[in-house]
A and B are shown apart, each in its own frame.
Chain A
Amino acid sequence: MAYLVYAILDVNDFWHWDAPYAFVVTVFRLLSLLIFFLTTTMIAGLVSAFAGGVMPNDLIVGLYNTLVLRTWYMQPYGVDGPLTNIAQVWASFQSNLLEVLYALWDNTFLFLYFLFAGIGIALFLQSLVRMEHKFVGGAFLSIQAIVMIAAYRLLIVPDLDPFPVDFVEFLGLTAQLLALVSFAYLEVSYQMIYSYSVGKPVEDREETLKKQLLALRQATRKQDAIERGEKVSITGMSRTTGATAFSFLREAIERKVVGTQDALESLDAVSDVRRLQIYVDELLQTDSWFNNNRLPNPILDCSSDILHPHEPGRSICTPQPTSWNSGQCRAVPTRDRSALLGSSSVAIPIRSNGHQLVLKERSSRNTQTL
């Protein structure tokens, strides 16, 4: 699409590599003319205020030669050497200002063609990586914007003028082909984005969950280590021993910092993290137990649907840290696996009189068909 736009607009002969440079130089020429004008005005004001006289012509001529003629490159305005008299300077200034303004008008469009082409390419490259509609649409619009701006400048642009009466002829026209290719680009890109967007959430979900579980595990380890007065390390440790240490910390906090609301809130937060870790551990252990003992088949992941939302036939084996689930990777036919996972229930033990009270073990189920 970009090439077609380039080729069709090439008849206007404006795709020169120095176009951005010419634009920048033109802008600075205009600036140097403005600086010259402002400087002379300021100096004239100062001279009349302090000396009460007229500014010497030599100064104006010198400023012009320095600021305008010699700033960018030698004698840019078709003059042979430095100007020597004031009348020449003002005549040159007037004609150069008009010339530069016209050149700027011309170059601005040229600059915009390059700008939109650059934006289009950048967005296209982004769309390859990010796979989002806005990048594809942006790339498409940027390339088409070149044609729009060129049309505004009344240049030769792809057109169907005169509009053909023969349909076959219409189909073969360059402008029609360009329109078709542009539309096809959008269509194909959107299809690709669709394929990507179907698979990506599942991967993202797995990634997020892994991060969450890892963060949870690390938070618990840190608590354990701090409570035992050790340096925080990444080595694994038993949750059982950690829990004992944890209870002592709790007492210590309650005895020493007792009473303050903040201390109790921090205590609750620490306790929540601990209980969440235990709960997640129990869930994962329950599921991996099923995987290891009931379903001796090859491949597939070995943790629960908390980690992997599953679909029939899906077989992604994601390596898990061994602490998350002790099982090995096995294949689980979805139907069996769903049934087994569905049967797992967890009870939070509440100890009372040395006996474990199971809060609730039955499942609740709600089904609705659309």
Chain B
Amino acid sequence: MVVFSGVLLLTSGFSFVNFYLVLLGVYLVIGLVVTLPLFALTANLAGIEVDRQIDKVKVFSGDFVRVRVTIRNASRRHFDFIEVHDQYPETWILAIGENFIASRIEPGSSMTFSYILQARMRGRYYLGPTEVIMRDRLGLHYYKRVLKEQTEILVYPTWKDVRRMEALGKQRQLGLMFGAHRTKTVGMGTDFAGFREYVPGDEFRLIDWKVSAKRGDMVIKQWEQEKNVQVICMVDTSGSMGNGYPENTKLEYAIRAAVLLTHMGLERKDLVGTCVFSDLVHGYVPPGARPNHMYDVLEILAMAEPRGWSDYETAISHVVTQSKKRSLIIWLTDLEGSPAPLINAMKTLVANGHRAMVISPFGPWFEAPVGQFGPVEKVLSEAVSEELWERRTKIARALARFGIQVINVGPEDFLPTIIKTYEKAKQKGVATF
């Protein structure tokens, strides 16, 4: 504004041969020019310290984080006007407060401001950098510095599915074991299971003589033992798993399913492991029930990114090497990779005594609804869908030879399917230990 005024007055003065206007223009321009070197001499932000604090370094997606920023003037001079902008990840939401402050700061003093962010989308994020702008009193000049220091925050996958499931369980007054049946094995154990008729080959010590005497026939007393299952969840993070709406991709659903499965397993004292793989194994948490098990799983899932291709063979050989016990291996994969390695992987798996099943998100169900397409796109998408469906039918047929079931899922039935699968495995006593 001042530059514009100065130039306007100067040009007007020269045009109308008026010394008053020229003089006023000169005053303005000199005022501007003289203050610039003065400002440049003092434009030194050394001594300004910025300190950022957060109350949690690991949060769930959707949780809130309070960020406190303290600006301290450690120098002996005062700053007439400084602005501090603390930057946060683009996908996050500023829930309460503002992420900047503007004020004057005296020597040796400090000012603090806080704001609350809502963490969105799992992954590793950084708060910062912080931008510090110093202005002169007249607002004519400014000097900007960016502090590169960043604060790392790990965002776990969302916990809302677990919360929702727990809320429903509590309200029904049935507890967390609602819907789950104990896996029992008749034979060894201490719990009485019932009687049956003696058949040749049974051990004599198992005959209940009293009951046999009463019935006049030989009767065997049976005992049962409670067993737990061991499940390994294989989460495919190949590039194709990243297709779909943001926050609702196939991979996001697979991760939510894995979180839910692990949580349910831990609640019911089962062992649930998780393997995150694409063309290499990104992380593997063996089945376990340690106090930190859930967090270990969350951590590897938080870091999962859709990239690369699916190398099922490497993944299964890694898992088989690490886990010798018989397990139910649940694959969460879109089956868009080459089928041969998948079948080889399944052979390895079955040969090692494991059981398996595939829960497969079907790509077109996760992408744009067909209703939003024009006629050409509609035809193309239907053609692609049909081809994909045919392909996965063939794969399912090939896997069925190994007794491996393939369940196609969409966004709406992904999580219910994983719950149902787990409960069925519990009921049938698949992969007990």
Contacts and interface: CB of A to CB of B under 8 A. Distances in A.
A94 interface: no
Interface in A276-321: 276, 279-280, 283, 304-306, 309-313
A178 B68 contact: no
B171 A183 contact: no
Contacts of A160: 19-20, 23
A155 to B, nearest CB: 10
B24 A182 contact: yes
B87 interface: no
A306 B97 contact: yes
A141 B50 contact: no
Interface in B10-59: 12, 16-21, 23-24, 27-28, 31, 45-59
Interface stretch (B102-110, B187-195, B306-314, B400-408): B102-110
Given A190-B138, A370-B132, A359 B59 contact: yes
Interface stretch (A61-69, A115-123, A347-355): A347-355
Contact of A309 (B17, B20, B101, B150): B101
Interface in B50-78: 50-60, 62-64, 66, 68, 70, 74
28 contacts: A133-B1, A144-B5, A144-B9, A151-B18, A158-B20, A175-B19, A191-B138, A193-B139, A194-B81, A198-B104, A247-B167, A250-B167, A276-B118, A306-B96, A311-B106, A352-B267, A359-B58, A359-B59, A361-B55, A362-B57, A364-B54, A366-B52, A367-B50, A367-B51, A368-B148, A369-B48, A369-B74, A370-B50
B386 interface: no
Top 10 nearest A-B pairs by Cβ distance?
A160-B19, A151-B16, A368-B149, A309-B113, A137-B1, A175-B20, A201-B102, A360-B56, A190-B138, A312-B109
Sort chain B's interface into a size bin.
35 or more
Interface of B: 1-2, 5, 8-9, 12, 16-21, 23-24, 27-28, 31, 45-60, 62-64, 66, 68, 70, 74, 80-81, 95-98, 101-106, 109-116, 118, 128, 130, 132, 137-139, 145, 147-153, 159-160, 163-164, 166-168, 170-171, 176, 266-267, 411-412
Interface stretch (A13-21, A52-60, A205-213): A205-213
Contacts of B46: 369-370
Given A247-B171, A305-B68, 14 more contacts: A141-B5, A175-B19, A186-B28, A194-B81, A201-B102, A248-B171, A251-B167, A306-B116, A311-B106, A338-B70, A346-B66, A353-B267, A363-B55, A364-B54
A197 interface: yes
Nearest to B158: A268
Nearest to B80: A194
Contacts of A351: 166
B20 A268 contact: no
Nearest to B129: A368
A153 to B, nearest CB: 10
Contacts, number: 241
Contacts of A198: 80-81, 102-104
A310 B112 contact: yes
A159 interface: yes
Contacts of A209: 96-98
Given A151-B21, A342-B53, A187 B31 contact: yes
Interface residues of A, number: 87
A22 interface: no
Contact of A310 (B9, B49, B105, B111): B111
A295 B45 CA distance: 34
Given A190-B139, A366-B51, A368-B148, A137 B5 contact: yes
A245 B261 CA distance: 29
A99 interface: no
B55 A346 contact: yes
